[in-house]
Amino acid sequence: MKKLLLICLVAISLLQAKNSVEFKFAKKDFQRKNPTNQNYILSYNNILKDARTSVVSISTQRTIKSGGAYGNPFLRRENTMPQATMGSGVILTKDGYIVTNYHVVNGADKIKVSIAANKKEYEAKLIGTDAKSDIAIIKIDAKGLNAVTIYNSDKVKVGDIVFAIGNPFGVGETITQGIVSATQRSEVGIVEYEDFIQTDASINPGNSGGALINSAGHLIGINSAIISKTGNNVGIGLAISSNMVTSIATQLINKGKYTRAYLGVGISNVSEDMSSFYNNKFGALIISIETDTPAAKAGLKRGDLIISVDGKKIQSGNELKNIIGSYPPSQVVNIKFLRNKEIDIVNVKLGSLDKKVSSDSLDYKGLSVITLDSQLQKLLKINANINGGVLVKEVKEGSQAQRTGVIKDDIIIQIESYEINTIDDFKSATSSQKRKRIYIFRRGSIFAIVL
């Protein structure tokens, strides 16, 4: 009897435990509808018919130098040989301005454009580039072209149906379908300024510079890169947002170059623990202020949390960098920030990033160096234990530095017995005209040259 009672009690307790768990169930049994019908065919042909004529195929020719022996960059035995590459582009204006990726046309001696709509090939002229965002503008001599209709990328939502149009593998116009997987994707490490729309629509080599189109046939991004361990599409494609594209393209078309505004702060993201000091808000945390900069003149301080610029909400340091970089120099912006848990507002007249970089650089025997800060280290994916150093930004053709074997992106870490940590260190170490041993870090290796 006791055994039977115990079993009953266990059964009752299990039943009560089961009933105490609440699940969310669908409220009704949904009917299924067959999308097929003998009287119609599901298709986006009418939407894509117009957009596809705004996408072009791009072929480039460039002359590359080959040579060197046994991996030695200083034993020069150079030959030149032509190299052809394929890519895509999108028509922005009726009179022939086309946007593509910087990496598609970088170093090209000739750029040719094919438009599927008229089967004609045009020779294109390079108008301007912005390597920091991977955007370039080219132009063909043509009128009455079908310029793409551009959508506000800030309104793109995860789950939107999209189409990638381009020229993958040089096979010709190709359209693939997917959805928006993420928006405002940044800190990927592909370029310095990143505002990507992520999609699972197939993007392959040759798609670069092509269009990412929404289901209304409007441009929401320029296909730029994929994330893949094999180099082939695995469903993680990245397109530069249309708002970033139009902002940069406008300056490139009007001025031939893109100059970013400059605030003059070091920034970081706010952790969840840190947000408790800022009324549980997130934004861009100022961790340093450079002297004699727009931020310093406006009275901003280390520890201030920037939460909006001109009414645009700031959630991260990268968002602040992208927004400030979208303004032209001398623009006055309204910055809202938190200091000591109180909101304050200040108007800041932005500076020019080009002038800032120029003032921080130094030329020596045909090479130009800039300070190697943590941001540049991350961009160049330098994981080695490099303490300080200056980065070779440019090497002039035919200069003494080039003849010695110095190349762009070398890191100079020591000159004679002097360790180089700053531009001032480099300036002091090279003040005399004597020949010097210069120690260079390149792709994980350190070697010395005489200059």
| CATH code of residue 175 | 2.40.10.10
Query: What count of other Cβ atoms lies within 10 Å of the Cβ of residue 422?
Result: 14
Question: Among the three residues 112, 139, 166, which one is the final residue of a domain in this structure?
Answer: 139
In a domain, 192, yes or no: yes
> Burial letters for 23-52: b for 16+ Cβ neighbours within 10 Å, e otherwise?
eeeeeeeeeeeeeeeeeeeeeeeebbeebb
Residues 241 and 315 in one domain: no
Residues 417 and 400 in one domain: yes
Number of domains in the chain: 4
DSSP assignments along 273-288, one per residue = HHHGGGTT---EEEEE
**Residues 357-375: tens digit of each pLDDT:** 666 667 788 888 887 765 5
In a domain, 313, yes or no: yes
| CATH code of residue 434 | 2.30.42.10
Residues 61 and 117 in one domain: yes
C-alpha of 62 from chain center: 24
Residues 164 and 249 in one domain: yes
> Burial letters for 122-138: b for 16+ Cβ neighbours within 10 Å, e otherwise?
bebeebbbbebbbbbbb
In a domain, 15, yes or no: no
Residues 120 and 191 in one domain: no
Question: Among the three residues 334, 353, 372, which one is the final residue of a domain in this structure?
Answer: 353
pLDDT range class, residue 8, cuts 50, 70, 90: low
Question: Among the three residues 353, 368, 385, which one is the final residue of a domain in this structure?
Answer: 353
**Dihedral over Cα of 291, 295, 297, 300: its sign:** negative
- Residue at token pair 């540049």: 376
43 Cβ contact list (under 8 Å, min separation 6): none
In the chain, pLDDT over 70 holds for what percent of residues? 86
pTM over 0.85: no
Residues 73 and 161 in one domain: no
pLDDT of residue 377: 62
pLDDT of residue 79: 54
pLDDT of residue 361: 67
In a domain, 11, yes or no: no
Residues 340 and 382 in one domain: no
Task: Average the pLDDT over 334-352 and give the result.
Answer: 92
Residues 187 and 271 in one domain: no
Q: Which range among 27-36, 51-60, 381-390 shows the weakest confidence by mean pLDDT?
A: 381-390
Residues 245 and 270 in one domain: no
In a domain, 216, yes or no: yes
pLDDT surpasses 70 at 80: no
In a domain, 30, yes or no: no
Residues marked active site are found at: 103, 134, 208
**Residues 210-233: tens digit of each pLDDT:** 999 999 999 999 999 888 777 777
In a domain, 311, yes or no: yes
Task: Average the pLDDT over 189-199 and give the result.
Answer: 88
Task: Average the pLDDT over 276-303 and give the result.
Answer: 88
pLDDT of residue 32: 81
The residue segments making up the domain with residue 378 are: 360-450
Q: Which range among 73-82, 122-131, 347-356, 408-417 shows the weakest confidence by mean pLDDT?
A: 73-82
Query: What count of other Cβ atoms lies within 10 Å of the Cβ of residue 416?
Result: 11
Residues 338 and 373 in one domain: no
In a domain, 386, yes or no: yes
CB 446 within 8 A of CB 440: yes
pLDDT range class, residue 69, cuts 50, 70, 90: very low
Report residue 278 as tokens.
Answer: 């800022």
Residues 172 and 248 in one domain: yes
pLDDT of residue 12: 57
Task: Average the pLDDT over 229-250 and give the result.
Answer: 88
pLDDT surpasses 60 at 14: no
Cα 361 from Cα 16, distance rounded (Å):
74
CB 296 within 8 A of CB 313: no
Residues 160 and 248 in one domain: yes
Mean pLDDT of the residues in the chain: 84
